[in-house]
Amino acid sequence: MTESLDGPAAVDGRRPPQQLFRDLRTSAGGLGAREAARRLTVYGPNELSRRPGNSWLTELLAQFTQPLAVLLMVAAVLAWLGDAPQLAIAVVAVILLNAGFAFVQERQAERAVEALAAYLPDTARALRDGMACEVPARELVPGDIIEITEGDRICADARLIEGDLSVDLSALNGESVPAGRTADADLVPGPLIEARELVFSGTACVAGQGRAVVLHTGMHTEIGRIAALSQRGRTEPSPLERQVRRATWVIAIAAVLAGAAFLPIGVVAGLGWSAAISFTIGLIVANVPEGLLPTITLALAVGVRELARRGAVVKRLSAVETLGSTTVICTDKTGTLTENRMRVTRMWRSGAELDAGEAGGRPLARAAALCTTAREDGRGDPTEIALLRLAADLDVPATGRDRERVALYAFDARLKRMSTVDGDRVHTKGALESVLPLCTGVLAADDTVGDVSDAVRTELSAAMDRYAAAGLRVLAVAGRDVAGHPPADRADAERDLVLLGLIAMVDPPRPGVAEAVAAAHHAGIRIHVITGDYGPTAAEIARQVGIGRGGRRIVTGDQLDRMTESELDELLAGPGEIVFARSSPEGKLRICEALRAGGQIVAMTGDGVNDAPALRHADIGVAMGRSGTDVAREAATMVLTDDNFVTVVRAVEAGRRVFDNVRKFVLYIFAHAVPEIVPFLIFALSGGSVPLPLTVLQILAIDLGTETLPALALGREAAEPGLMDRPPRSSRQGVIDRRLLLRAWGLLGTVSAALVTAGYFWTLWWGGGSPAQAATMTFAGIVACQIGTAFAARTDHASLRSIGVFSNRLLLAGIAFELVVAAVIIYLPPLQPIFGTAALGPAQLAFLLPFPVIVWLADEIFRWHGRSARPGGTFDSPPESAMGKR
């Protein structure tokens, strides 16, 4: 083998395993840990080195070619030509600052998303020093022996040396039908990717299990080659970002038009062309919301980062806002609502019911324990681990299980059973309705075999009812002797069985789930359970956690299959919550599609390979990070690192909060437009008979100086009380709606404009101030009003008292900053001629003092009115608006 940084390129993976072992200097027992570490330094980590993204310089430069930046540049040139060099310099400063700000924000957002990878490390099972262990996928090296099972993402190019797999190659060839792969394939020449003994990095195993020897890693894999060719994909802007971009443009155009309209008015009012042009420019620069978009991207990124810390890793920024409008959560039961820590409590044998510890359950326990693939060390399916524990407790451990195993017919979520051939016995376990039809006899407690009589059936169904009513999960166990007649296939194995009995286990609800369900209900979100488990069992668990308050219905997989589309639509549109039991993957997909067609925003959980289509189809596919398969994780939009239902509800809350905060920010930024424009209107309408109430640089100082930090601080506001007491936001509701504009311009803006104008005229006519002082009063008045606006904007509906005046420390710091900047501009002599300010006296300051309170109070009354007009934000059952079709 040639060992170079190029990797073992000379190894031909299409050779028989023994030759490959020689070429790769490895063996069926895998590499030693030391050798693996050495190879890791030689070949480098097994990861796709991303094509170096744009350098920071190019990204920074790109900020200057944004359309809005170009608009500002035109303004700067015009200002220069219009003989207003100070303004031109100011505008250039604005462009620079803004580009820098946007650049930093976008980088931060990008980094937040990239950091998510650390929450979801890929792992592989490799043999090291002869022992199977989990290793980070990035540490795989050529020569490693890896184990691959259903649901695994394959993380290196490898040759199968044992077993059969079905692999989804769509990442490589776009083919959606899984392809068979087997260790014993005949070596037929043909394209590498079609070689039946090879598996490739980036593809997924959808069925079967096997072992393979790693041939290539990192950039030397097939997918590495493709990655090296293709560009790094650009991320799609989220709907929120698109909306904001559109709004930004509308406002920018309005600002340009308003500026253009002002130009002739200014000239007529006696300003002179040069001054009129600079005002026009000032108006445009001030009102173009250039910082809006990057700030919103950052708000989403902050949301993403916070969600990750709370156990929900989302894969794209837009998921955060979709989460906020979730109307229905479809959750599975085992492991999401429950702990997935099973413990056998009861056993049933024909004619007798036993406790878990009773010796009479030994044959049943032993058969069940042999029919497993989980390991004694606790790795594997929790249901099976419970069975292994039971057998061990009854002194009939399943030792020698793997040695004696002749065949394995793995658990099939559709069949709901699995079988093994161990030595000369078949063992089958699974759902009772799946196993019973295969049985021709039943083993009685006295070890005689009887018929599956009606009496037995009645006894069975009574036992099932009892267990289900207690929320227990039940497995039926059966078996038969096949000495001398090894079964040819699954159907041959699973026939003429003797039912050995039932095993019932508890899987208690997770702590906190009941509270999360109640919170979701308050938030107008409906919860349906879609589970493979038995209906009454699932319904009991649902009852325990509070799902189904508005009426709980059980719909089985068979019933679902028989339903027409319109019947299903009707069922889902009706009141109450549904337990879909014994569901199939197809059923899950159908429910998801029907809900979405009904206008619902669906969050759907899942963990298996078969769940992938439904996860992809849902608005928010939620995969289980711990117990879930890689395939499900890949199909999902959000991965729960704690597998907990509670986290789904928390994520919805975070989504709502981020959306709310973006609105707060927009409200605050929009509100200042009115008090800034009104002084110009007064000046223009007076025909120039009053002095100019506000200079252009003063406007810029407000919009780009004093306001920046308080605005950012609003984006970090904590969740408002009642956030989860409101029905979900309609997905059609934009971030900027009529109520927001009414509040920003009609209320906050208008009240501020009135106050500011009063301050100006008072200073000019009665307060004994100079025109410069009067203009300074306008400037300081706007700053004062915006402080009130900031406090008003902190809540959408709630009162300020309910969240605490001092609870947003960042905002307090932002306001302190605002005051310092304003004071510097007003009182620092060198700045006074630039900004056209003059020091204000105590009387004038006293005049300004009530401004913030008046502005805030006006909005407080508005919100109070809104609250009393729409009473009862809370409800125990989901509101009609969220339940029915919208």
Ligand X SMILES: Nc1ncnc2c1ncn2[C@@H]1O[C@H](COP(=O)(O)OP(=O)(O)OP(=O)(O)O)[C@@H](O)[C@H]1O
Contacting residues toward ligand X, per CB under 6 A: 332-335, 381, 383-384, 411, 413, 416-418, 429-431, 473, 475, 531-534
* Helix 273-287 / helix 67-81 crossing angle, nearest 10 deg: 160
Question: Min. distance of Cβ 581 from ligand X in angstroms?
Answer: 9
Is the CB of 560 or the CB of 777 nearer to ligand X?
560
Is the CB of 426 or the CB of 431 nearer to ligand X?
431
Phi, psi torsion values for 163, nearest 5 degrees: 90, 175
With vertex at residue 515, the alpha carbon angle to CA 513 and CA 518, rounded to the nearest 5 degrees, is 110
- Spatial strand order in the sheet of 577-581: 312-314, 638-640, 620-624, 602-606, 328-331, 526-530, 577-581, 552-556
At residue 636, the 3 state secondary structure works out as coil
Is the CB of 623 or the CB of 775 nearer to ligand X?
623
Helix (H) or strand (E) holding 793: helix 771-793
Is the CB of 282 or the CB of 532 nearer to ligand X?
532
Is the CB of 201 or the CB of 383 nearer to ligand X?
383
Question: Min. distance of Cβ 428 from ligand X in angstroms?
Answer: 8
Question: Min. distance of Cβ 375 from ligand X in angstroms?
Answer: 13
* Catalytic residue list contains 465: no
Angstrom distance (rounded) from CA 391 to CA 651: 40
Angstrom distance (rounded) from CA 421 to CA 430: 15
- Give residue number: closest CB to ligand X: 532
Question: Min. distance of Cβ 368 from ligand X in angstroms?
Answer: 9
Is the CB of 168 or the CB of 607 nearer to ligand X?
607
Active-site pick, 23, 144, 152, 332: 332
What are the angstrom distances between the C-alpha of 175 and each of 180, 673, 785?
13, 55, 61
CB 735 within 8 A of CB 666: yes
Please state the length of the chain.
886
CB 767 within 8 A of CB 631: no
Q: Which residues contact 548 (CB under 8 A, 6 or more apart)?
A: 539, 542, 576, 577, 579
Angstrom distance (rounded) from CA 413 to CA 586: 11
Angstrom distance (rounded) from CA 149 to CA 132: 13
Which residue, chain included where needed, has tokens 């080659």? 225
Around Cβ 174, how many Cβ atoms within 10 Å?
Answer: 7
CB 213 within 8 A of CB 24: yes
Angstrom distance (rounded) from CA 36 to CA 622: 35
Is the CB of 417 or the CB of 664 nearer to ligand X?
417
What are the angstrom distances between the C-alpha of 657 and each of 184, 524, 660?
55, 16, 5
**Per the structure block, which two tokens stand in for 875?**
């409800």
Question: Min. distance of Cβ 41 from ligand X in angstroms?
Answer: 41
Question: Min. distance of Cβ 342 from ligand X in angstroms?
Answer: 10
Question: Min. distance of Cβ 150 from ligand X in angstroms?
Answer: 12
Terminal Cα-to-Cα distance of the chain (whole angstroms) = 65
Is the CB of 409 or the CB of 791 nearer to ligand X?
409
Is the CB of 411 or the CB of 791 nearer to ligand X?
411
Angstrom distance (rounded) from CA 482 to CA 434: 21
**Per the structure block, which two tokens stand in for 407?**
């065949």
**Per the structure block, which two tokens stand in for 103?**
């650049």
Angstrom distance (rounded) from CA 831 to CA 88: 17
CB 323 within 8 A of CB 621: no
Question: Min. distance of Cβ 334 from ligand X in angstroms?
Answer: 3
Question: Min. distance of Cβ 576 from ligand X in angstroms?
Answer: 19
Around Cβ 868, how many Cβ atoms within 10 Å?
Answer: 8
Is the CB of 360 or the CB of 430 nearer to ligand X?
430
Question: Min. distance of Cβ 416 from ligand X in angstroms?
Answer: 4
Question: Min. distance of Cβ 443 from ligand X in angstroms?
Answer: 19
At residue 190, the 3 state secondary structure works out as coil
CB 486 within 8 A of CB 421: yes
CB 700 within 8 A of CB 288: no
**Per the structure block, which two tokens stand in for 859?**
């909005």
Angstrom distance (rounded) from CA 704 to CA 82: 22
**Rg of the chain (C-alpha set):** 34
**Cα four-point dihedral sign 276, 277, 278, 283:** positive
Is the CB of 292 or the CB of 542 nearer to ligand X?
542
Q: Catalytic residues, which ones?
A: 332
